[in-house]
Every structure is written in structure tokens, then in C-alpha cells.
Chain A
Amino acid sequence: MVDVLVKTQKLKKYFRAGKSGLLDKILRQLPPLVKAVDDVNLEIGKGEVVALVGESGCGKTTFGRLLTTLETPTEGEIYFDGRQVTKSDQKAVRRKVQMVFQNPYESLDPRQSVKGIVTEPLSKMGISKVEKDAQFEKVMSAVGLDQNFGERRPRDLSGGQRQRVAVARSIVSNPEFIALDEPTSALDASVQSQVLNLLVGLREEYNFSYLVITHNIAVARYISDRVATMYAGQIVELGPTGEVLKDPKHPYTQALLKSVPSLDTKKIEPPHGEVPSLINLPSGCRFHTRCPFVMEKCKTEDPSMRRVGNVDVACWLF
């Protein structure tokens, strides 16, 4: 077993969202709680790549932000390299982790040049200008952008070019752990391949660990050692990528794989039923309102993770 780099224990993040009505104000009630991440245990090994897939709004980005200390947990613990991450050493951890944000438009400072943005993580590391320039050149060509992009501002870039600037920035300081949130969602297949090959190469060379959040199952398939499926704030299936994608156990993972569009067919079968509320979570198994195999027990009792072969799955069928 490889060394664990990042570990979460019973991790939770709840948000208060929206306005409260007049009646709520009179009764002094707070706006409802959104349970974005609800009791997640996950370990990511050194040099390991875990892909996180799941329904839109189920808590993936929030989980990535928690791991990179950009968000403080409501409850539960995060360990980095064996040490619990507390408020006081967040800063030290932050130097070793990076996050590529889902929306590259938000995360790139519009006033800075591309070069300024990409080399910013190096600025506090006491590196000479020559080394900085060399490192900049290296990461830019690795993501398939010409040197002359250095002078440009983010607004002069296309969507995919911005995304690659964000990836270049995340790798420039050789961090130990990177959470990549939909890092190739704006890239055509060829440039996407180039960026994924780069990430895999870096992992082999420097033993980086990644959490790759993606809705593109083919990307998860290619890049990850293990894949975790998330549904309504929880991980419901976790196992070796090949195994999970070939023979998904959890009914939600099965539904997800059936919805992947392909060139062979125009027919896709998305799951029926309502997308779950994170405010009034379904009772019992959170997928029971949409599950084709639902049993009486599923409606009242929440299944916990069980080991089935190499895969962990939370479902009463197992």
C-alpha cells in the first residue's frame, strides 16, 4: 500500500443559503441548510489519481475546495501527509496544494498578464528571474500555448486558452497535490489529450497526486487509478477505475454510465425522477426516489459503505 497524502474523515460542509421569509424572521429562523458535503471519507495516496464524478450540484467542487483549504469544514477532519490540517497550519499546507477552478474566467485576475498569472505561485519561493522564465516557458509549451501569450490579458483569450493558463499556473510550482475541477471541459478532443498526457507525465515524473473532478467519464477512465461516484453530498461508490466503469455496482453509477453520449447512438437513457434536494434530503438511501431497484428498506435506512471485492459501495443490494 502506498503512503497516504490526503485523507478526510467524516468530512462535512453545510451552507446557509437564500433569504428567509417574513415569518422566518419573526420566528428567528435561519435560512435553510444546504448539505453540500455530508460525511465523506476518502484517502488519496502519494502519486495517486482519484477521479470524482457525480451529479451536478452534488458537492464535488465543495469537496475539492475543502481539500485545498479554501473552505473550512463544518465538521470532520482533513489530514495532509499524516498531520491534521488545522487553522494554524493551513498556510503551510496551502503552499503544497493547488486548485484549478471550474470556471477559469473567475479565477484569472483580469488585470494581470498571462505571465504574471502563471508565475504568481513562484513569487514567494525565492526563485531567480532566469529560473522563473525557464519554468514559465516549460509549462506554457506543455499546455500547448505559444510564448507570446505571456503578454496577453485573460480577456484576449478564448475559453480553452484560459483553461490551459489555469492548468499551467497550477503545475508551475510543483505542488504535491492538485485538485483539478473540470480541467478540460472547454477543450477540443485533441488539446484535451495533450493536457491529460501532460498531467499523467507529471505524475510519473514527480509523483504528484490529483483529485480530478470531471463529468467526462472518458477523462476519468484515462487519467485515474480509482474513481469515486458522488451523489447528494456523499460518496456512494469507490474503486479501481477499470472495474467500476466496466461493472458499476451502485445503481446511480450505472445510470450515469448509461447517459454518456456516444457516436454509436443518439439514444441516451438518463435516470428518471427528480434530482435530489440537498436541503430536504430523501430519507434512507438518497437515491431511492429514482432507483429502479428500490426496496422497502431503502426508503427508511441509509446504507453504509460495504466492501464488495475491490470496490466500496453504499447500497442495500450488497
Chain B
Amino acid sequence: MADSDDSDIVDIEGLTITYRTVYGNLVSLNSVDFKVKRGESVSIVGESGSGKSTLGLAIVRLLAPNASYSSGRIMLDGHDVTKLSNRQVSLLRGTTAFMIFQDPLNTLNPVKRVDVQMLEAIRSRLKQEGQPFNEESAYKEAVDRLNDVRMPDADSIITRYPHQLSGGQIQRVVIAMGLLMRPKLMIADEPTSALDVTVQAQVLELLRDLQRNYQMSIIFITHDINVAHSISERMVVMYAGEVIEASPTESLVKNGLHPYSQALIASIPTISKSEGKLTAIAGSPPDMISPPNGCRFHPRCPHVMQVCTVQSPRTTVKDGSEVRCFLYG
């Protein structure tokens, strides 16, 4: 199929992903719909364990071996990822979609020096572009990208092994690798969780520039709503393997519709408040092997109604937001 430029870069419908485990089947994504337009920046936020990383990994087909695609389809740049051969998928990885893993050491090889790994990345990009590889200019390009991500001592860092770098330096090397690939879509799973706020601000600015100037689409997975707010136009909230709200960023943070979105935003600590206990959402996170019936949030929801305990709410559209909750129909 052609990658016609008006189609969405990512178009997921009814995606269900199951992990097989010794203690039972764990449905980590349950009938998820998710779209990203070309040039758009979307954040995925939500509870720890709700399926955010699984969704990102599913798009590039890099799920753990015990995972299976139970149903649904994933269109990535016009190709159904679930139907491609391994070789075809590997061609899409890198230059079509580049994924920054939550564990940065999943991208970096611990026994290879940073320069070796960055040059390999450049070589593979040039091969896909049908361009010749030149070691000297590639080396310069690698150092330039490290400078772009505000890496000090880039000349020394590039000659080291990953274990000789700080947490934030490893994370920046991985982001620099992503920049080297110049992908149409960058899937970044908690890419700034080890960066201090000053470097984080600069890296976010860099990503925004790429999005603006090169129409790069971004899927930004983060637990930090403040960061999501600064990087994305739209936010998707996940709970227990389901997308429960998808809204323009501003309306989500000011006026979240779903009771879980509201509770999540209310629990953000701020620099100016420190008195008393921090607010955590009451009740415990759902057991993903046997999730609650009806609305999965109902055991913890302050607005729970009779219907919520037996029936699963459908997605409704309200003021440009999509929400799954009986309060809205």
C-alpha cells in the first residue's frame, strides 16, 4: 500500500494483546483504538502497569515473546504491522518508526562502545536511503547529535561503554540515536525520566523543533503530566489496559472528563505545596489477570453507579474529547 501523506501515521483499531504467564493470561491491552496524525505529538499517560509500554512496543512489533496479538489491527504508515513478515517489519523500524525503550539499555548494547553503536545506526540509515557510508562524516554527525542533546564532553562520552555513563547520559545517547535515524514517527517511552529539569527542558524543545520543522510525529509515553502538557497537542489516558480518555491537552489538564483522569491530575504534587500527606487515588490498582467487571475503574471511582459494576462503558465524544464513562452517555 502507498504511504499516502494524508493517512494517519498510526491507526490502531480494536487491539487486544495478551501475555501468557504461569499464573494465567494477562490481557494487557483490551480493544484499544488509537490514532496519530502525521506531524502530531500525542502523549500517553496513565497508571503504572496500565499498558502504555505494551502499546508502544506493539506498534513496532517488539513485544516480549510471551505476548500475542489476540485481535485488532495496527496500521503504521499504511502497513498492517500484524501481517508483515519479520523482514518487512525490521525495515520499518528505525527510519519509519524509532522506539526509545523505557529501559535505555534495551537500545544500547552494554559491551559495545557508544561510537561503534552510533556508527552502526548511521550505516543502517544510509543503507536504507541508498547512500554511501563515510566513516569520518558519520563520526562527525554522531558527535553533533550528542551535542544537540546537550551532552557535555561528547568527545569523551562517545568513546565510553554504557556503564561508564550516568543515567541521564545513557538516556541522551539513546535520544541521539533516535535523532540519527530521522524517523517519521518517534515513540519515546519515558525518555526524560533520568534527566534533570534543565536538560529535560532543552530536550523537549529539540523534539518540538523536529516535529515542527520535519513533520515528525511523536508518541510520548510518560507518567509526568507536566511533561506531557509541554510536549503534546493531544493526550491519551490509559487505565487497566484500556484507553479511557483522549482529549486535547489543554482541556484534559484543565477539565479532564473521566473520573480517573481527574484523580490523576489532582494527585500531582507541586513545588509550592508540601503540607500533609500527598494524595494517592484510594483503593488498589486492578488485578490485570482478573480485572473488575463493568467499568474497570468502578471499585475506586467516587461517582460509581449501579450500571458501572455490570456493563462496560462505550466511547462517547464530548466537546472534542473521547471518553469512556457512563457519566457522559
- Pairwise interchain contact B202-A17, C-beta atoms closer than 8 A: no
User: B197 within 8 Å of A by Cβ?
Assistant: yes
Among A15, A146, A242, A260, which residue has its beta carbon within 8 angstroms of that of B287? A146
Among A17, A186, A190, A194, which residue has its beta carbon within 8 angstroms of that of B102? A186
User: B226 within 8 Å of A by Cβ?
Assistant: yes
Q: Chain B residues near A103: list those with CB within 8 A.
A: 103-105, 167, 194
Looking across the interface, which residue of chain B has its beta carbon closest to that of A221? B274
- Pairwise interchain contact B201-A18, C-beta atoms closer than 8 A: no
- Pairwise interchain contact A57-B169, C-beta atoms closer than 8 A: yes
Q: Chain B residues near A260: list those with CB within 8 A.
A: 197, 226, 271
Looking across the interface, which residue of chain B has its beta carbon closest to that of A220? B271
Contact with A along B134-175 (1 / 0, CB 8 A): 000000000000000011110011011000111111001000
Among B64, B197, B279, B287, which residue has its beta carbon within 8 angstroms of that of A215? B197
- Pairwise interchain contact A242-B274, C-beta atoms closer than 8 A: yes
- Pairwise interchain contact B285-A144, C-beta atoms closer than 8 A: yes
- Pairwise interchain contact B156-A185, C-beta atoms closer than 8 A: no
- Pairwise interchain contact B164-A57, C-beta atoms closer than 8 A: no
- Pairwise interchain contact B279-A161, C-beta atoms closer than 8 A: no
The interface stretch among B30-38, B44-52, B82-90, B119-127 is: B44-52
Q: Chain B residues near A57: list those with CB within 8 A.
A: 152, 165-166, 168-169
- Pairwise interchain contact A261-B201, C-beta atoms closer than 8 A: yes
Beyond A15-B164, A106-B105, A193-B278, whether A158 also contacts B49 by CB under 8 A is yes
Looking across the interface, which residue of chain B has its beta carbon closest to that of A224? B274
A-B contact count (CB 8 A): 210
Among B167, B223, B279, which residue has its beta carbon within 8 angstroms of that of A188? B223
CA distance A256 to B202 in the complex (A): 12
- Pairwise interchain contact A266-B105, C-beta atoms closer than 8 A: no
User: A135 within 8 Å of B by Cβ?
Assistant: no
Looking across the interface, which residue of chain B has its beta carbon closest to that of A145? B285
Q: Chain A residues near B165: list those with CB within 8 A.
A: 57
- Pairwise interchain contact A279-B229, C-beta atoms closer than 8 A: no
CA distance A17 to B229 in the complex (A): 38
Number of B interface residues in the complex (CB < 8 A): 73
Looking across the interface, which residue of chain A has its beta carbon closest to that of B66? A156
- Pairwise interchain contact B201-A259, C-beta atoms closer than 8 A: yes
Contact with B along A5-21 (1 / 0, CB 8 A): 00000000001011100
Q: Chain B residues near A32: list those with CB within 8 A.
A: 156
- Closest Cβ of chain A to B64, distance in Å, is 7
- Closest Cβ of chain B to A1, distance in Å, is 23
Q: Chain B residues near A159: list those with CB within 8 A.
A: 48, 53, 102-103, 189-190
Beyond A182-B167, A188-B47, A259-B201, whether A158 also contacts B284 by CB under 8 A is no
Q: Chain B residues near A181: list those with CB within 8 A.
A: 167
- Pairwise interchain contact A17-B160, C-beta atoms closer than 8 A: yes
CA distance A133 to B165 in the complex (A): 38
- Pairwise interchain contact A102-B48, C-beta atoms closer than 8 A: no
- Pairwise interchain contact A222-B274, C-beta atoms closer than 8 A: yes
Q: Chain A residues near B150: list those with CB within 8 A.
A: 275
CA distance A161 to B48 in the complex (A): 7
Q: Chain B residues near A158: list those with CB within 8 A.
A: 48-49, 53
- Find the residue from B151, B204, B226, B229 having the highest chain A CB count within 10 A: B226
User: Would you give 12 A-B contacts (Cβ < 8 Å), ordered by A?
Assistant: A17-B159, A57-B166, A103-B167, A152-B21, A191-B47, A193-B269, A215-B200, A261-B224, A263-B226, A268-B201, A269-B201, A275-B152
Known contacts A152-B23, A262-B270, then 13 further A-B pairs from the complex at CB < 8 Å, ordered by chain A residue: A17-B159, A18-B159, A56-B199, A160-B223, A186-B223, A188-B47, A189-B265, A218-B269, A256-B196, A259-B196, A263-B229, A276-B152, A277-B152
